[in-house]
Amino acid sequence: MMENIENKYLSLGEMFCGPGGLALGAINAESQNIQNNKIIKISHKWANDIDFDSCETYKHNICKNPTANSVIYSDVRDLDIETLPAVDIFAYGFPCNDFSLIGKQKGFDGEFGPLYLYGLKVLDRLKPKAFIAENVGGIASSNEGLAFKKILMDLSLAGNGYNLTVHLYKSEEYGISQTRHRYIIVGIDKTLGLEFKVPAPTHKNNYIPVKEILENLPNSLLNNEATKMSNIVVERLSYIKPGQNVWNAELPERLKLNVKGAKLSQIYKRLHPDCPSYTITGSGGGGTHGYHYKELRALTNRERARIQSFPDSYFFYGSKESVRKQIGMAVPPKLSEIIFSSLLNTFNQVSYRSIRANYTITSEQLTLI
């Protein structure tokens, strides 16, 4: 039994916090060093988002306080960064709309691409020990790769300078039943002389089938309302087998979609019970809700939340469509916990299984990109 345990908390500030997927993983993370009896954890300090419902969800679940003033409901462009309290760790999943592979990749030419610059302002002013930034896999190819290169260069030169570990994480390899691929950028203040290593996958080639996540789900769970569907959609789904979509199923002519141009693979795609889910998205029109492998219906928000690895006790505030958006835009908390635990282990000098990163970048070696 450990005696004289030293508990240390590192504070977390977050921009574009959404409903708290990153934060939940962070506050659940910990590192224990049995050599020096030190346990390091993370505590919430402040967070910001432009979406009111997301802020309310964050307050309810992360702060456990519906009136918490540490969650700032504001457009980041109106946020007074000069008044933000200092934090040890800064996190931000800056908006990915303009970098996503789904839709038009506008990169810095879009409305949302330049918003990552506000995170740079936080790094320059507060100079946290570390930061974690998240974005979609498509960011690497946006603007012919120039957008990603500029973002990495800017991040490495912010604050006191940061050593970056950049990796494309595949959620299904970390115990999440979803093929969600995201770049995670971990930066550590170069003056600390520490190196973050990518945690080794826990479920590589041993993926969790979605039926393990969705079987026997009680109807009484929070945020579990069914989506109303027309008779023609139900009939269309009856012709689509698990794992198929509207394009590769054998449909009668009257049930086919008359679409020209790009045909997104997720349209009316049913899950396959023995595979991880495809990527859960936050918005979209008909045919993009995600569809059950056994029943002829769209997934409920609670099923989407389970696929994202949120616990059933996690309550999402707002309308059904608002909740769907929050869930689809979030970082899977289970993946977040693994990454934050590895970061804490780095600070606590605790070794862990790791793999080679896609990129390691320092402010002195930008040519590695």
- Residue 351's Cβ-count burial label (10 Å; 0-12, 13-18, 19+) is exposed
Strand, coil or helix: 98: coil
For residues 362 and 279, give the distance between their C-alpha atoms in angstroms, rounded to a whole number.
Answer: 32
For residues 164 and 304, give the distance between their C-alpha atoms in angstroms, rounded to a whole number.
Answer: 32
CA 46 to chain CA mean position, Å: 18
> Cβ neighbours of residue 220 under 8 Å, at least 6 residues apart?
none
96 is catalytic: yes
C-beta separation of 342 from 352 below 8 A: yes
For residues 29 and 25, give the distance between their C-alpha atoms in angstroms, rounded to a whole number.
Answer: 6
Q: Which residues pair with residue 131 across a beta bridge?
A: 90, 187
Retrieve residue 82's tokens: 């000069």
C-beta separation of 198 from 357 below 8 A: yes
Strand, coil or helix: 194: coil
Query: Considering 17, 55, 96, 275, which one is annotated as catalytic?
Result: 96
For residues 44 and 25, give the distance between their C-alpha atoms in angstroms, rounded to a whole number.
Answer: 11
**Residues recognised as catalytic:** 96
